[in-house]
Structure 1
């Protein structure tokens, strides 16, 4: 299980950045073409729909990466004087509560995604623009966030219990190796 977690986190941090930056580059190109097109009296068709939909990919896949790196806002004014194990325990509890909260949100997102898939939801404009794939990506992004929050919970529980990391046995930690020498 620990090898799976490490493999997942390494692949996710390696390829996740590309998965969220490619839509940002595409949105920039689409908006630039639209701005130039408006000056030439021929705007880029479906620009608004495309940018709104691509934003879903960048935001909801991006929050998983932020959660994996611990890049979220952490207010430590009340906890910084506590012992490190208590701080890790509180972090584990916070990640658990976040996973629980987002689980309720994910259930609704998946219901909406399957509903959109069933009716093949489209936005009608100059052209028909499919919305159902992006509803699925939205639900997938929230599910990935929940998975990452559960991994963070496991990591902080192990750190609160005195292990250096959740993937290394306690006997292989640097402190244990130094004590053996």
Structure 2
């Protein structure tokens, strides 16, 4: 079980980069707006940097959100289920999510490899490499797949409550 908790803690730690990316994105946009408004000099590459930070924010935060059960959930119907059916529903949804996200991850990883081999760049005033963004996206999805697998296996063996013990509770259930 310690191994499973270590993976979940790692997911949460990587997810913290998501918050850091948000802060940096705010600073980049603020500097760009001030430069445009007061000095008629926008920050070069502000849009490209913001897009990369947005990818970091979204894709590196997904596994941490899964680990802490922070994803938004509407539990009106599932709350009406018996404990046994709720457990089965949890396992089924984790399995479906694992299969679907694994497929998306496979294609994202192939695309990241292809993009990296080609040295894919954006077109604009300042060329900007896109391949690192593809790698970040694929890495975030890989972390999510690992976290979903940990949640599925752990829930099968120990149940949901024991799997989430010791992790921050940010449940978005209503």
Partner of 1:33: 31
Which residue pairs with 2:162 in the alignment?
A: 165
2-structure distance, mates of 1:164, 1:107: 30
Higher relative contact order (CA 8 A, sep 6+): 2
User: 1:34-68 deviations in whole A, cap 9, x for unaligned?
Assistant: 10111111100011111011100110111111111
Which ranges in structure 2 are unaligned for 5 or more consecutive residues?
Answer: 166-174
Q: How do 1:8-157 residues align onto structure 2 when only pairs under 5 Å count?
A: 8-13=7-12, 15-39=13-37, 40-157=39-156
Question: How many angstroms does 1:77 deviate by?
Answer: 2.4
Of 99-108 and 150-159, more deviation after overlay is shown by: 150-159
Q: Secondary structure at the match of 2:79?
A: coil
Task: Give the direction of change, closer, same or farther, for the CA distance of 1:12–1:145 in structure 2 (3 Å limit).
Answer: closer
CA apart distance, 1:72: 1.7
**Residues 68 and 164, structure 2, Cα contact 8 Å, conserved in 1:** no
What TM-score, normalized to structure 1? Answer: 0.82
Structure 1 unaligned spans of 5+: 169-181
Give 1:154 shift.
Answer: 1.7
Secondary structure of the 2:55 match is helix
* Greater Rg over alpha carbons, structure: 1
Question: Post-superposition shift, 1:92?
Answer: 1.2
Aligned length: 164
